[in-house]
Chain A
Amino acid sequence: MEPYEEKELEESLEWMRKQFQVLTDEIKIPDSLRADILKKQLEQMEAEEMHKQSARSVPSKIRRPKIIAFPRKTIAGLAACAVIAGTSLVSYQLGRNNGEKLAALENTSGSPSLAAAEDAPENAAYDEVDDLLIEDPDMGTPELAASPAPAAAPQAEAPEAFSGEEDAAPRMLQSPSEAGTGGTETTEGPSDSPAKKEQAFIVAEAKEISRLASYLPDALPEDLMETALFEDQENLSVSYLSSDYSRQIQLTLRDFSQQIPVPVDPSQPETYDLRLYPQPYTDSVPEELAAQVNDPLFRVEDITLSLVEARVFDPNEGSQYRGNFRILFSDGVVATLNVTGVSAEEIYEIIEQMVPGE
């Protein structure tokens, strides 16, 4: 902006601020937004969450029927506000139609259904675009500017091991909560396409206000698109899918900080290495190890490329990579990955992205 334009803008602002003073002075905050009232709502919400968690830990003999629903209770008129905030805050359905089809895909043996391939992701469903992009085209595509103000998860100091090359010693990942403070910069979207930019923008917004979303990777293989992002109080689920449906990553993040599950010991490959068994997920795995081999949990600091290769591999050398495993971060968040058609190297790079600071 030219200096004279800046001066003109400043003068306009000064003049307008004086005009608005008479209106702004009269705006009084309603009683419903007093801190003590909102604090009470918060306490009630936390009490309800604790009650739900203790109900979950009831032994199976007397386990109550499972209710799958978003919490919809209303506590007076004001509780509607708390419910809206406490339940699914994200309508980031970048592909509502594809979301249903994706659910159908996940229920199959893993092969994409031809019926579900009607709408390519690129047509789909960027129906819901941020209003800053659609309603006000003058604003342009928002850049993911580095911003000191917005919150982000504490970011790890980049460990030396992340040089992009595999060293002789296995590389370890550092959990974000073990790290000191770092930068809060957001990163650019993975590619220049408008759809990818929109995705990156929405994910960046989610990261700023959602603790679980702060674990989402910033960079993905070019051909993978986020097709659905869904969050409620306990879970955040994201699907990444290629346009031909041959490559898929299903990522679920969940907070287990109240009851942290037990990870496997990486020095015991028989508890997780699928290559040791001629037919994983079947009778070739000893019964006492089946639960671990089928769904192992690794501490994030134990994750190495070798370990990912033990879980995500191509059994017939030429067919398709498949695999699954879980990662335990030190703050109790567990990430579950189910992979089809994506190599171990690509998965390892994605996991690196999930650790803030990388």
Chain B
Amino acid sequence: MVVDIEAVRQARQGNQDSFAQVYQQIAEDLYRVALYSLGNAHDAQDVVSETFIEAYKGIRNLRDENSFKPWIMRILSIRCKRRISQYITGRNELDIDDFLDLTDDREGVEERSSQKIALLTALEKLTPQERQIIALAVVQGYTVRETAEILNAPQGTVSSKLHRTLKKLRADLEK
């Protein structure tokens, strides 16, 4: 979703309503990345609300309003990394219910459900870091360069990691 630059400008000046407006424009993106990265809605909600507060406190430091989206995504990525580091067992399992709309009763629901289950099963085999890259590059559509900037990692490393992860996923899904 496109972010309103004027609202970002006003948010930088301390306008809470403008900040809330800008956040609302990007909230779904933030939640999706957090959910894919962490695998469960509870932790995803925590890190998104932490990101909201940190972004509000730090928005005065944002130099370029056009960079708001990658900037806040970077805050989210750092928060996700910290949360992942707290997982004692290097948790990979996903809470599948958090990804599915269980009230879906439209035509073709069974076929969609089996496709979703296949995707989630394949995702579960990835590490949280790999899922984070998938969330940014695949789900959110960031380029390799943008993904590397958000994760503060070398572009070459992100590129090769993404390449390997996609290969792994595709092999699983095409089985």
- A and B, one complex? yes
A residues lining the B interface (CB < 8 Å): 1, 5, 8-9, 12-13, 15-17, 19-20, 22-24, 26-30, 32-36, 38-39, 41-43, 45, 78, 80-82, 84-86, 89, 91, 128, 130-132, 135-136, 138-140, 142-145, 147-154, 181-182, 184, 201, 204-205, 208-211, 214
Verify if B85 is at the interface (C-beta below 8 Å from A): yes
Interface assignment of B120: CB less than 8 Å from any CB of chain A: yes
For the complex of A and B, the 3 pairs showing the least CB-CB separation, nearest first, are A81-B49, A149-B70, A85-B50
- Also in contact, A138 and B161, with CB within 8 A (given A15-B170, A148-B67, A149-B67): yes
Could you list which residues of chain B lie within 8 angstroms of chain A, going by C-beta atoms? Answer: 16-17, 19-21, 23-24, 27-28, 31-32, 35, 41, 45-46, 48-54, 56-64, 67, 70-71, 74-75, 78, 81-82, 84-85, 90, 99-101, 104, 112, 115-116, 119-120, 127, 129, 134, 137-139, 141, 144, 148-154, 156-163, 166-167, 169-170, 173
**Roughly how many angstroms separate A53 CA and B52 CA in the complex, as a whole number?**
23
Would you give the shortest CB distance from B130 to chain A, in whole angstroms?
8
- Tell me how many residue pairs across A and B have CB atoms closer than 8 Å: 203
The answer to whether A26 and B100 have CB atoms under 8 Å apart is: yes
A210–B74 Cα distance when bound, in Å, is 13
Which of B53, B56, B78 interacts with A205 by CB under 8 Å? B78
Whether the Cβ atoms of B163 and A9 lie closer than 8 Å is yes
> B152 and A205: CB pair below 8 A?
yes
Chain B's closest residue to A144 (CB) is: B152
What DSSP secondary structure best describes chain A's contact surface?
helix
Which of A26, A42, A140 meets B16, CB within 8 Å? A42
Complex CA gap A36/B35 in Å reads 21
Question: Are A139 and B129 closer than 8 Å at their CB atoms?
Answer: yes
Please name 13 further chain A to chain B contacts, defined as beta carbons within 8 Å, in addition to the given A33-B48, A85-B51, sorted by A numbering. A9-B166, A19-B119, A29-B31, A34-B24, A41-B49, A78-B45, A78-B49, A81-B45, A132-B153, A154-B63, A204-B152, A211-B58, A214-B61
Q: Is the CB–CB distance between B81 and A130 below 8 Å?
A: yes
Given A38-B20, A38-B23, A131-B81, is A139 in contact with B137 using a C-beta cutoff of 8 Å? no
Q: Which of A16, A29, A205, A211 contacts B27 (CB 8 A)?
A: A29
How close is A325's CB to chain B, nearest CB, in angstroms? 26
A residues in contact with B70, CB < 8 Å:
149-150
Verify A23–B116 contact, CB threshold 8 A: yes
Q: Is the CB of B152 within 8 A of A145?
A: yes
CB atoms of B101 and A28 under 8 A apart: yes
User: Are A131 and B84 also in contact (CB < 8 A) when A81-B45, A145-B152, A151-B62 are?
Assistant: yes
Contacts of B63 in A (CB 8 A): 148, 151-152, 154, 181-182, 184
Contact partner of B138 (CB less than 8 A), chosen from A16, A34, A82, A149, is A16
Do A84 and B46 have beta carbons less than 8 Å apart? yes
- Across the interface, which residues of A come within 8 angstroms of B162, CB to CB? 9, 13
The reply to whether B28 and A29 form a contact with Cβ atoms under 8 Å apart is yes
Asked if A151 meets B61 with Cβ closer than 8 Å, knowing A135-B127, A205-B78, the reply is yes
Q: A19-B173, A149-B71 are in contact. Are A30 and B45 (CB under 8 A)?
A: yes
Would A142 and B100 count as touching, CB distance under 8 A? no
B84's nearest neighbour on chain A, judged by CB, is A131
Q: Are A12 and B53 in contact (CB under 8 A)?
A: no
Contact indicator A24/B49 (Cβ below 8 Å): no
Determine whether the beta carbon of B21 is less than 8 Å from that of A148.
no
Determine the distance from Cα of A17 to Cα of B173 in the docked complex, in whole angstroms: 13
Q: Which residues of B contact A1 (CB under 8 A)?
A: 156, 159
